[in-house]
Amino acid sequence: MQGFIYPNEFELHWGILVVVYPYVTGLVAGAFILASLERVFNVKEVQPTYRLALLTALAFLLVAPLPLLAHLGHPLRSYEIFLTPNRQSAMAMFGFVYAWYLMVVLLLEIWFDYRKDLVLWYQSEKGWKRYLYYALTLGATDLSERSLRFDDKVGRWITIIGIPSAFLLHGYVGFIFGSVKANPWWSSVLMPVVFLFSAIVSGIALVLIIYMISSMARWKPVDMRCADKLAAFLFYAMVVDVSLEMLDFIHRLYESEESIGILTQLIESRLFTSLIVLQLVLGTLLPLLVLGLTSPALSKKSVLKVPDELKRLVYLAAAILVQIGIFSIRYNVVIGGQLFSKSLRGLTVYKAELLGIEGLLMAGALLILPFIILWVLVKVLPPWTDAEAQLPGSGEHGTGQPTGVLP
């Protein structure tokens, strides 16, 4: 055959920004699910990271739609999704899922959890901060025992509602990829579940990183009971995630589809570094090994007895490697799924540009922006348990006990 070049799909429609989008939304879902462990499932060991996880989820959720808006090229038209909704489009429904999760779930839970402290900060602060905290209370300054019990009860129910909402927020991303029947790399009923568990893994790892680095930056001791519990949950979530991915791969091999050949060629050439080295070895096997040996995940005591100082460094390094692995998963799914021809007769090449709206600098800026937002949120709403001692007459957060009443 002459006059034809395979593959003839030379342009990738989804670039690095579409890689950033599911990565960021996964961090949101994972961080919120981690916060629910303390609020709903009463896992007291992770209590020091409860509020930090909520603020982390909010910071990344505010940035979550920006990669898509930048990728589409007409962000000013985004409001039309609410004016003329297409109920048959999973992508169009993201706007409503996002609005529900932001306005009804996350903001309300943070407000009910912080309301008591907002009132106390309003009482103790002076100047512009006093007016800021009063505005954040929305005028609800009652700190009676009945009012605080109501805050705790409503906040708990919002968290319960938020768990399936978090599943929906990130699970639908996997649903979009898994429903593309013409693409053998994406077409799998396990894709939404794999996306969801990888989101849980990334969210736990991110909160662990932020908690440990922020504790060291504030010269505060790291709660090792909390760090051990986070490492154990990270290990369990990774085991489930790897098992699901292996099940999906074995299922593809068992079916022996004609696409196996081109997928094998894709892995051996285009995606060897991102899939084998970064995702499998550095991002999965190595963290599983070190977490299994140093954290009390497999038994009440760790397999290797290491001092707490070394254990903290191991946890931090493992969590960073997990983030690299999860981002590689997103890259391999989004970019890798577009690197072969629909005729299954060849591979194309993706070259990310440095500048431009679809460039690496834009992607890096969108990944840095949530941390800047989180820094601002932490300054306004301190999540640290040691900040409680600075409140006049304050007790434990979330106990539902009154600490003062405005006149």
Q: Which two tokens stand for residue 227?
A: 């760090």
Q: Rounded to whole angstroms, how far apart are CA atoms 159 and 150?
A: 14
Q: Is pLDDT larger for residue 31 or for residue 177?
A: 31
**DSSP letter at 301?**
S
pLDDT number for residue 168: 79
pTM confidence score:
0.85
Residue type, 321: L
pLDDT number for residue 106: 87
Q: Phi, psi (5° rounding) for residue 340?
A: -120, 155
Give the contacts of 331 (CB within 8 A, at least 6 positions apart): 19, 274
Q: Which two tokens stand for residue 253?
A: 């091999």
Q: Which of 121-130, 283-292, 302-311 has the highest mean pLDDT?
A: 283-292
Give the contacts of 209 (CB within 8 A, at least 6 positions apart): 316, 319, 320, 323
pLDDT at 371 over 70: yes
Give the contacts of 403 (CB within 8 A, at least 6 positions apart): 116, 120, 143, 391, 393, 394, 395
Give the mean pLDDT of 171-176.
75
Model pLDDT for residues 40-62, shown as the tens digit of each residue: 888 888 889 999 999 999 999 99
Give the mean pLDDT of 6-20.
72
Residue 95 near residue 78, CB atoms below 8 Å = yes
pLDDT at 387 over 80: no
DSSP string, 66-92: HHHHHHHS-GGGTTHHHHS--TT-HHH
Q: Rounded to whole angstroms, how far apart are CA atoms 199 and 322?
A: 11
398 φψ region: left (φ > 0), alpha (ψ -120 to 50), beta (else) = left
Residue type, 308: D
Q: Is pLDDT larger for residue 146 or for residue 73?
A: 146
Taking the chain, what is the end-to-end CA distance rounded to the nearest angstrom?
A: 88
Q: Rounded to whole angstroms, how far apart are CA atoms 131 and 382?
A: 17
Place of tokens 């306005």: 103
pLDDT at 2 over 60: no
Q: Rounded to whole angstroms, how far apart are CA atoms 256 and 241?
A: 23
Q: Rounded to whole angstroms, how far apart are CA atoms 97 and 102?
A: 9
What is the CA 327 to chain-centroid distance, rounded?
Answer: 11
What is the CA 360 to chain-centroid distance, rounded?
Answer: 20
Give the mean pLDDT of 252-277.
74
pLDDT number for residue 3: 43
pLDDT number for residue 372: 95
pLDDT at 405 over 70: no
CA nearest neighbour of 11 among 339, 250, 358, 285: 339
pLDDT at 250 over 60: yes
Cα dihedral: 179, 182, 183, 189 (round 10): 30
pLDDT at 402 over 60: no
Give the contacts of 11 (CB within 8 A, at least 6 positions apart): none
pLDDT at 36 over 90: no
Give the contacts of 247 (CB within 8 A, at least 6 positions apart): 190
Beta bridge partners of 347: 340
289: enclosing H helix or E strand: helix 286-294
pLDDT at 379 over 50: yes
Place of tokens 């993706």: 350
Where does the pLDDT of residue 171 fall: very low under 50, low under 70, confident under 90, or very high at 90 and above? confident
Q: Rounded to whole angstroms, how far apart are CA atoms 274 and 279?
A: 6
The mean pLDDT of the chain is 81
Residue type, 359: G
Residue 162 near residue 105, CB atoms below 8 Å = yes
pLDDT at 73 over 80: no
Q: Rounded to whole angstroms, how far apart are CA atoms 16 and 331?
A: 8
Where does the pLDDT of residue 239 fall: very low under 50, low under 70, confident under 90, or very high at 90 and above? very high
pLDDT at 253 over 80: no
pLDDT number for residue 374: 95
pLDDT number for residue 359: 82
pLDDT number for residue 268: 72
- Low-confidence winner among 166-170, 303-307, 334-338, 385-389 (lowest mean pLDDT): 385-389
* % of the chain surpassing 90 pLDDT: 23
pLDDT number for residue 367: 93
